[in-house]
Structure 1
Amino acid sequence: MNLKPTIHFINNIAPHYMEPMIYQLLKSEEFNLFFSCGENQNLGIKTVDFSTEKYKPYKNHIDVNIKNIWIKSKYLVWQKGVISKCMLKKKPDLIVLLGEFLIISNWIGAIICRLRGIPVAFRGHGLYGNEGTIKRFIRVLFYKLANSQLVYERRSKGLLINNGLKPSTIHVLFNSLTYDYHKSQREQLKNLSKEEVFPFFKSTKIPTLVFTGRLTKIKRLDTLLTTVKRLQQEIELNLLIIGDGTEREDLENLAQNILKDGTYHFYGSCYDENIMGRLLSKSDLCVSPGNVGLTAIHSLSYGTPVCTHMNYANQMPEAEAIENGMNGCLFEENNLDDMYLQIKTWLIKHPLKTDEIAINCYKIIDEYYNPYFQEKVFLKLAQQNAPIV
């Protein structure tokens, strides 16, 4: 009789964006998953509500009693409860720990697992490519404690290989959002008209650029506004800003001074996925002057291409989902002339989003950025097979 593998997956918290993956792993028929995490004490991030009805069948597989210990409310240095998980009498087939070298308990936990013959994997960013010599050395030393690595992008896998880790031990997990919901909305949203979704624009027959996220300095949204001003001298287009933050008032004042009336709109914060789906799906290009992160996955999931900078050392891993010329465009970081040129070139070739562009956007999501792919990666790890990617 072949028993299903058992996986213990330990995280710092259970961020809300990870819920589709966590739920898919818990209900998997291929393995038994036990998920453990701590409370969201310092991060200000929305987390999964495990008290809901759908989690009742898995209540014995969920432990939210890990105690996270921070320094200056910024650096996570110890997870109380991790060591005991690594010393359980009944050994799991795999333990997944956070791949953060500052967490001392994970160094110790990984060593204990190796001594006990329990395969251990680190899940995290891996190498960014901008580390100094000493920091890179410590990170690589830490990663070598584990049997396997779960990273979010192929680029990080390449960096780890270049620093001495075996290719067969590195698995690309990618990231995912509410994939099933997004996929179910594709046909329904196609029937909406731009007039219905964008009543605040003077004209809806022209391209619409969109940004969604926190309105903070790091997002470089002033550069987006000045680029739109320059573009509007040659191309008619609208700009939609979704989100709120410390820079909103200044950005609204700047837009009022430099952009044409009726061509821009600050929507404010939006946490309603029904509304977000309407706004994103009817936009023609999502632009993020700074790093893009999960916004790229969100936009591509609704069939909308993405434009951001190409310095991957300063990007979030999700930027790798953008295939230049296929489902978006890339520009040189901090080069406003190139940002202007790439957006202009894209809009000249694709003034309005087509079904073909939407299909290009869906393709990468359907192949990799979904919880079903992530489930396969976890299973491969538990079975100690070669990586998928």
Structure 2
Amino acid sequence: MKSKPTIHFINNIAPHYMEPMIFQLLKSEEFNLYFSCGENQNLGIKTVDFNTKKYESFKNKIDVEIRNVWVKSKYLVWQKGVIYKCLSKKKPDLIILLGEFLIISNWISAILCRLRGIPVAFRGHGLYGNEGSIKRIIRVLFYKLANAQLVYERRSKGLLVKNGINPNSIHVLFNSLTYDYHKSQREKLKNLSKEEVFPFFTSTKIPTLVFTGRLTKIKRLDTLLTTVQRLQEEIELNLLIIGDGTQRKNLESIAKSILKDGTYHFYGSCYDEHIMGRLLSKSDLCVSPGNVGLTAIHSLSYGTPVCTHMNYANQMPEAEAIEDGINGCLFEENNLDDLYYKINSWLTKHPIKTDEIVINCYKIIDEYYNPYFQEKVFLNLAQKKAPIV
């Protein structure tokens, strides 16, 4: 009987949003996965706590001894301990490194792996499409050191292919959140009433727009407020903003001066997934005027469509989960008239979030944006099979 392949997955840190994927990979019956990373080092990112009971049986497969050392700048990084793992006497069937060309130790690590006959893959964004010529050339040169690429979206795969990377070496991994929990809540949330969830609105019989994330300038929430003001001149709707940040006081001041009383609410930060599920599932459209990121996956997971801009060069990879007119809508970046038009058109066509819309939102998550799909991609890669996507 053929033994299961061994994969060494090395990252800089273990961000909390990656926990479902990491746990699924560790417990996989298809391969043996060993996960290594460094500590957070005050990056302001919540990380996985590997000391909890669920990881007890995987202690020998988890290593948090990697040290991320910034070399003479805040950009170049040396990951102390990675080269040592690439020189291990017991060769794994695959080593996965972070696909970031500014991690200079990964250049050396990839070359060492290739010289020793160990297949190596880079996991990362790949090409964004907005790089200058020099940066693009350096990135492509770096990617060619690896046998394979793991990227988050189809678009990045297309850009890598255009720049000379073999398409059969590029595997689209997508991203995931707490998929099992989200799925378990679908039926439970269906029976909730808007009156229970939105007691702060004067009326819950009108559509509710929602935004969730950090309240910072890059999110362009001032444009959301002015767009809602314009929309309220024609249709009735509520606006819910979930999150906190440097722009909160300013945004609250703007909202108070231009929006109708009882039609907007600043919820503040919320890290309780039970509450987030209630708020997102009963909203009608999630709107992110700036980039959208994992907010798109969070919203779609609870059956709520997403509206964001269509300039993918300035987007996060998760924006690709939005199918225009199916599970959300896309507008021209920085075009407030188009933002207004797309939201107005969506709400005119869908004054009520139907079961069909909810199912359309679930569909893309169930197919791709979940840890079970990611496990299949890792296995395909380890077995040197053609990409699934």
Normalising by the smaller structure, the TM-score range is over 0.9
Q: How many residue pairs align between the two structures?
A: 389
What do the CA deviations read for 1:10-31 (whole angstroms, capped 9, x no partner)? Answer: 0000000000000000000000
Where does 1:33-182 land on structure 2 (aligned, <5 Å)? 33-71=33-71, 74-182=74-182
Distance in 2 separating the partners of 1:336 and 1:72:
42
1:350 is aligned to 350
Distance in 2 separating the partners of 1:123 and 1:375:
14
Letter in 1 for 2:250: D
Letter in 2 for 1:46: K
1:183 aligned counterpart, secondary structure: helix
Q: Does 1:17 align with 2:17?
A: yes
What do the CA deviations read for 1:8-51 (whole angstroms, capped 9, x no partner)? Answer: 00000000000000000000000000000001014210000000
2:387 is aligned to 387
1:329 is aligned to 329
Letter in 2 for 1:50: F
Question: Identity rate of aligned residues, in percent?
Answer: 86
1:75 aligned counterpart, secondary structure: coil
What do the CA deviations read for 1:69-97 (whole angstroms, capped 9, x no partner)? Answer: 12477325110010011011010000000
Structure 1 residue 352 displacement after superposition: 1.8
Letter in 1 for 2:77: V
2:64 aligned counterpart, secondary structure: strand
Distance in 2 separating the partners of 1:376 and 1:29:
11
Q: 1:280 to 1:72 in 2, by over 3 A?
A: farther
Distance in 1 separating the partners of 2:386 and 2:206:
48
Do the aligned partners of 2:71 and 2:78 also contact (CA within 8 Å) in 1? no
Q: Does 1:207 align with 2:201?
A: no
Distance in 2 separating the partners of 1:337 and 1:273:
34
Q: Does 1:198 align with 2:198?
A: yes
Letter in 2 for 1:188: K
Letter in 1 for 2:173: L
Letter in 2 for 1:119: P
Distance in 1 separating the partners of 2:370 and 2:85:
28
Distance in 2 separating the partners of 1:76 and 1:39:
17
2:367 is aligned to 367
What do the CA deviations read for 1:217-258 (whole angstroms, capped 9, x no partner)? Answer: 110000000000000000100000000001000100100000
Distance in 1 separating the partners of 2:248 and 2:89:
54
Do the aligned partners of 2:7 and 2:95 also contact (CA within 8 Å) in 1? yes
- Give the gaps of 5 or more residues in structure 1: none
Distance in 2 separating the partners of 1:71 and 1:300:
40
2:108 aligned counterpart, secondary structure: helix
Distance in 2 separating the partners of 1:262 and 1:188:
28
Do the aligned partners of 1:68 and 1:76 also contact (CA within 8 Å) in 2? no
Letter in 2 for 1:144: K
Structure 1 runs (4+) deviating above 4 angstroms are none
Distance in 2 separating the partners of 1:370 and 1:256:
39
Do the aligned partners of 2:241 and 2:268 also contact (CA within 8 Å) in 1? yes
Distance in 1 separating the partners of 2:37 and 2:73:
17
Letter in 1 for 2:21: M
2:28 aligned counterpart, secondary structure: coil
Distance in 2 separating the partners of 1:99 and 1:287:
30
Distance in 2 separating the partners of 1:42 and 1:156:
30
Where does 1:259-274 land on structure 2 (aligned, <5 Å)? 259-274=259-274
2:282 is aligned to 282
Letter in 2 for 1:17: Y
Distance in 1 separating the partners of 2:215 and 2:269:
10
Do the aligned partners of 2:6 and 2:31 also contact (CA within 8 Å) in 1? yes
Distance in 2 separating the partners of 1:328 and 1:338:
14
- Give the gaps of 5 or more residues in structure 2: none
Cα RMSD after superposing both structures: 0.8
1:186 is aligned to 186
Distance in 2 separating the partners of 1:39 and 1:382:
27
Distance in 2 separating the partners of 1:172 and 1:42:
30
What do the CA deviations read for 1:308-331 (whole angstroms, capped 9, x no partner)? Answer: 000000000000000000000000
2:3 aligned counterpart, secondary structure: coil
1:387 aligned counterpart, secondary structure: coil
1:250 is aligned to 250
TM-score by length of 1: 0.99
2:95 aligned counterpart, secondary structure: strand
Letter in 2 for 1:5: P
Letter in 1 for 2:361: C
Do the aligned partners of 1:288 and 1:308 also contact (CA within 8 Å) in 2? yes
Distance in 2 separating the partners of 1:381 and 1:360:
29
What do the CA deviations read for 1:349-382 (whole angstroms, capped 9, x no partner)? Answer: 0012111100000000000000000000000010
Do the aligned partners of 1:151 and 1:172 also contact (CA within 8 Å) in 2? yes
Where does 1:293-308 land on structure 2 (aligned, <5 Å)? 293-308=293-308
Letter in 1 for 2:265: H
Do the aligned partners of 1:42 and 1:74 also contact (CA within 8 Å) in 2? no
